[in-house]
Amino acid sequence: MSGPLTMFDTPRAYIGQPVPRADTKRLLQGRGKFIDDIQLPRMLHAAFVRSPVAHGTITGIDVEEARALPGVIAVYTGADIAPHVEPYVGVLSHLAGLRSAPQMPLAVDVTRWIGEPLVMIIAQSRAVAEDAAALVMVDIDPLDAVTDMETALDPATPVIHAEMDSNLAWERTVDVGDVDAAFARDDVTVVERRFRFGRHTGVTLETRGAVAAFDPSEDELTFWYSGQAPHMMQFIFAKHLGLPEENVRVVSQDVGGSFGIKIHTYGDEIATALAAKLLGRPVKFVADRMESFLSDIHARDHVVDGRIAVDADGRIAALAFDDITGIGPFSMYPRTSAIEANQVLNLTGAPYVMENYRANAKVVFQNKNLMCQYRAVGHPIAMAVADGLLEDAAHEIGMDVVEIRRRNLIPDDAYPTQSASGMKLDDLSHHKSLETLVDAMDYEARRAEHAKLREEGIYRGLGLISMVEVTNPSPMFYGIGGAPIASQDGATIRLDAGGGVHVSSSVTEQGQGTNAILAQIAADVFGVPIERVKVTTGDTRTTPYGGGTWASRGAGIGGEACLQAAQALRDQVLEVAAVILQSEPGKLDIKAGAVVDAEGGAERMRLSDLARTVYYRGNELPSDLKPELIATRHYRVTDFPFVFTNGAMAAEVEVDPETGFVQVLNFWAVEDCGRVINPVLVDEQVRGGVVQGIGGALYEECVYDAEGQLQNATMADYLVPMAFEMPDIVVKHVETPTKTSVLGAKGAGEAGTGGAPGAVMNAVNDALRPLGAAIHQMPMTPERVLRALGKV
Amino acid sequence: MKAADFAYEKPDSLDAALALLADPDRDASPIAGGQSLVPMMNFRMAMPELLVDLNGLDELRGISADAGGGLRIGAMTRYSALEASDLVTERAPIIAMALPHIAHAAIRNRGTIGGSVSLADPAAEMPALMLVLDAEIEVQSAKAQRRIKADEFFTGLYETALDEGELVTAIHVPAAPSGRRFAFYELARRHGDYAMAGVAIAGTGDALEDPRIAFFSVSDRALRARGAEAALAAGDVEGAIAALDEIDFAGDLNADAKTKRHLAGVVLKRALGRL
Amino acid sequence: MSDTRTIRLTVNGETGSYTVPVRQNLVDFIRNDLGLTGSHVGCEHGVCGACSIEVDGDIVRGCLMFAVQADGAEITTIEGLAESDRGAALRSAFSARNALQCGYCTPGMLATALDYVEAGGAADRAAIRAHLSGNYCRCTGYQSIVDAVCDVIEGRVEA
Is the minimum CB–CB distance between B50 and chain C shorter than 8 Å?
no
pLDDT tens digits along A204-237? 999 999 999 999 999 999 999 999 999 999 999 9
pLDDT tens digits along B138-154? 999 999 999 999 999 99
Q: In this complex, which of C5, C71, C134 lies closest to B104 when CB atoms are compared?
A: C134
- The C-alpha atoms of residue A120 and residue A268 are separated, in whole angstroms, by 8
Residues B190, C133: C-beta atoms closer than 8 Å: yes
Q: C102: how many CB neighbours lie within 10 A of its CB?
A: 29
Residue A477: its pLDDT value, please? 87
Residue A772: its pLDDT value, please? 98
* 8 Å CB contact between A289 and A372: no
Domain A35-143+202-295 in the same topology as domain A7-32+488-635: no
What is A302-475+639-788's CATH number, 3.40.50.300, 3.30.70.20, 3.40.50.10800, 3.30.365.10? Answer: 3.30.365.10
pLDDT tens digits along A276-292? 999 999 999 999 999 99
pLDDT tens digits along B176-234? 999 999 999 999 999 999 999 999 999 999 999 999 999 999 999 999 999 999 999 99
Q: How confident is the model at residue A2 (pLDDT cuts 50, 70, 90)?
A: low
Residues of B in contact with C134 (CB under 8 A): 103-107, 192
Residue B95: its pLDDT value, please? 98
- What CATH fold (topology level) applies to the domain A7-32+488-635? Aldehyde Oxidoreductase; domain 4 (3.30.365)
Is the minimum CB–CB distance between C76 and chain B shorter than 8 Å?
no
Task: Express as a percent the part of chain A with pLDDT over 90.
Answer: 97
**Which residues neighbour B206 within 8 Å (Cβ) at sequence distance 6 or greater?**
none
Residues of C in contact with A34 (CB under 8 A): 37, 40, 104
Interface-testing mutation among B191, B254, B256, with chain A (most A C-beta atoms within 10 A): B254
pLDDT tens digits along A435-471? 999 999 999 999 999 999 999 999 999 999 999 999 9
Q: Which chains touch B (3 or more CB pairs under 8 A)?
A: A, C
Query: If 0-12 CB within 10 Å is exposed, 13-18 middle and 19+ buried, where does residue A286 land?
Result: buried
Of the given ranges (A476-485, A502-511, B12-21, B32-41), which has the lowest mean pLDDT?
A476-485
pLDDT tens digits along A499-537? 999 999 999 999 999 999 999 999 999 999 999 999 999
Residues C44, A714: C-beta atoms closer than 8 Å: no
Helices (H), ranges, B99-255? 105-108, 113-119, 125-133, 150-153, 226-233, 237-242
Average pLDDT over chain A, rounded to an integer: 97
Q: How confident is the model at residue A8 (pLDDT cuts 50, 70, 90)?
A: confident
Q: What three-state secondary structure class fits B97? A: helix
pLDDT tens digits along A709-734? 999 999 999 999 999 999 999 999 99
Model confidence at A1: pLDDT above 50: no
Mean pLDDT of B72-101: 98
Beta strands in A379-505 (DSSP E): 417-418, 424-425, 459-471, 489-495, 501-505
Look at the alpha carbons of A307, A309, A310, A315 in this order and tell me if their dihedral is positive or negative: negative
* 8 Å CB contact between A378 and A339: yes
Interface-testing mutation among A28, A69, A508, with chain C (most C C-beta atoms within 10 A): A28
Q: B134: how many CB neighbours lie within 10 A of its CB?
A: 17
Mean pLDDT of C34-61: 98
- The C-alpha atoms of residue A270 and residue A277 are separated, in whole angstroms, by 11
Which CATH architecture best describes the domain A35-143+202-295? Answer: Alpha-Beta Complex (3.90)
Task: Express as a percent the part of chain B with pLDDT over 70.
Answer: 100
Mean pLDDT of C115-133: 98
Helices (H), ranges, C1-87? 26-28, 78-84
Residue C1: its pLDDT value, please? 61
Domain range list for chain A: 7-32+488-635, 35-143+202-295, 302-475+639-788
* 8 Å CB contact between B260 and B196: yes
Residues B190, A722: C-beta atoms closer than 8 Å: yes
**Which residues neighbour A264 within 8 Å (Cβ) at sequence distance 6 or greater?**
A297, A332, A333, A335, A372, A373
Residues of B in contact with C21 (CB under 8 A): 5
* 8 Å CB contact between A636 and A654: no
- The C-alpha atoms of residue A537 and residue A507 are separated, in whole angstroms, by 6
- Pairing state between β B180-187 and A110-111: unpaired
Please name the residues between 674 and 703 in chain A that touch chain C, using a CB distance below 8 Å: 680-681, 684, 687-692
Q: In this complex, which of B8, B55, B190 lies closest to C22 when CB atoms are compared?
A: B8
* 8 Å CB contact between C67 and C25: yes
Is the minimum CB–CB distance between B44 and chain A shorter than 8 Å?
yes
Q: How confident is the model at residue A6 (pLDDT cuts 50, 70, 90)?
A: confident
Interface-testing mutation among B263, B267, B272, with chain A (most A C-beta atoms within 10 A): B263
Q: How confident is the model at residue B24 (pLDDT cuts 50, 70, 90)?
A: confident
User: At CB < 8 Å, which residues of chain A contact B?
Assistant: 126-127, 130-131, 134, 288-290, 658-659, 661, 699, 703, 711-712, 714, 716-717, 719, 722, 724-725, 781-783, 786, 791-792
Residues of C in contact with A262 (CB under 8 A): none
* 8 Å CB contact between C52 and C62: yes
Residues A729, C143: C-beta atoms closer than 8 Å: yes
Q: How confident is the model at residue A383 (pLDDT cuts 50, 70, 90)?
A: very high
Is the minimum CB–CB distance between C112 and chain B shorter than 8 Å?
yes
**Closest-CA residue of chain B to A127:** B2
pLDDT tens digits along A143-190? 999 999 999 999 999 999 999 999 999 999 999 999 999 999 999 999
Is the minimum CB–CB distance between C5 and chain B shorter than 8 Å?
yes
Task: Express as a percent the part of chain A with pLDDT over 70.
Answer: 99
**Which residues neighbour A42 within 8 Å (Cβ) at sequence distance 6 or greater?**
A281, A282
Q: Which amino acid is at B203?
A: G
Residues of C in contact with A726 (CB under 8 A): 129, 141-143
Mean pLDDT of B37-65: 97
Give the HSE-up count for residue A128: Cα atoms under 13 Å, Cβ half-sphere: 19
Helices (H), ranges, A136-281? 179-184, 230-241, 267-279
